Amino acid sequence: MEDSQREKPLRKISDSFKELAATVNSEGGDVEVAFFSRACALISPLFDCLGIAFKFAEMDYVAKVADLAEASKSISTLEALLDRDIEADCVRKAGSHTRNLLRVKRGLDLTKVLFEQLLASEGNSLKDAASNAYAQVFCPYHGWALRKAVAAGMFALPTRVELMKKLNEDEASASNQMQIYVASAAPVIAYIEKLFHSRQLGIDW
* Top-level class of domain 2-195: mainly alpha
Mean pLDDT, to the nearest integer, of 11-25?
95
pTM of this prediction? 0.93
Return left, alpha or beta for 89; rule: phi > 0 is left, psi -120 to 50 is alpha, else beta.
left
Q: Which pLDDT tens digit goes with each residue over 22-74? A: 999 986 678 999 999 999 999 999 998 998 888 887 888 999 999 999 999 99
Average pLDDT of the residues in 109-118: 96
Report whether 41 contacts 89 (CB < 8 A).
Answer: no
Average confidence (pLDDT) over 128-134: 95
| Rounded-to-integer distance, Cα 6 and Cα 85, Å | 35
What does the angle CA 70 – CA 76 – CA 82 come to, to the nearest 5 degrees?
85
Domain locations in the chain as residue ranges: 2-195
pLDDT computed for residue 28 by the predictor:
66
Alpha-helical segments (H) within the chain? 2-6, 9-25, 33-41, 44-50, 55-71, 78-88, 97-120, 127-137, 144-153, 160-167, 171-198
**What gap in Å lies between CA 118 and CA 133, rounded to an integer?**
10
Q: What pLDDT does 51 receive?
A: 87
The pLDDT of residue 191: 96
Euclidean distance between the first and final Cα of the chain, in Å? 42
What pLDDT is recorded for position 5? 45
